[in-house]
């Protein structure tokens, strides 16, 4: 009697890995979608701790012990609090168990 969802992607997005409520309530986070870059000019940076989403390929941060030192010296992270903000967001996503690329299909 739980409400469950599973995603439509190539990595852990199937009926064997659903996100389920207890029984019908589910905590989550919200992402705001920005307008097309042609309508709202902006700069974008990928999260340095993003997952590879490949079953046999690890992300660089999983294999390189000096990865964090390298990121701290890289723009735009070396001149602002942006790195701390990204780390906070990454930790929150991990604690919530979110996998935003796999959202989509209700069960």
Query: What confidence category does residue 103 fall into, taking pLDDT thresholds of 50, 70 and 90?
Result: very low
Rg over CA atoms, the chain: 17
pLDDT tens column, 20-69: 777 777 776 667 778 888 998 888 777 888 877 777 888 888 899 999 89
Tokens of 71: 């990121």
pTM tops 0.85: no
Integer angstrom CA distances of residue 85 from 5, 80, 82, 89: 29, 10, 5, 6
Residue 34 assigned ligand-binding role: yes
Report the pLDDT value the prediction gives residue 102, as an integer from 0 to 100: 42
The response to whether 53 counts as a known ligand-binding position is no
> Is residue 3 within 8 Å of residue 18, measured between CB atoms?
no
Q: What is the mean pLDDT of residues 81-105?
A: 69
40 belongs to an annotated ligand binding site = no
């Amino acid at each position: 009697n739980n409400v469950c969802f599973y995603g439509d992607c190539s990595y852990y997005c199937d009926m064997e890995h659903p996100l389920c409520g207890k029984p019908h309530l589910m905590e989550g986070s919200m992402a705001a979608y920005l307008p097309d870059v042609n309508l709202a000019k902006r700069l974008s940076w990928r999260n340095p701790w993003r997952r590879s989403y490949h079953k046999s390929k690890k992300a660089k941060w999983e294999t390189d012990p000096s990865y964090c030192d390298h990121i701290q010296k890289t723009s735009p992270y070396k001149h602002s609090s942006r790195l701390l903000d990204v780390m906070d967001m990454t930790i929150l996503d991990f604690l919530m168990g979110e996998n935003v690329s796999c959202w989509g299909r209700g069960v």
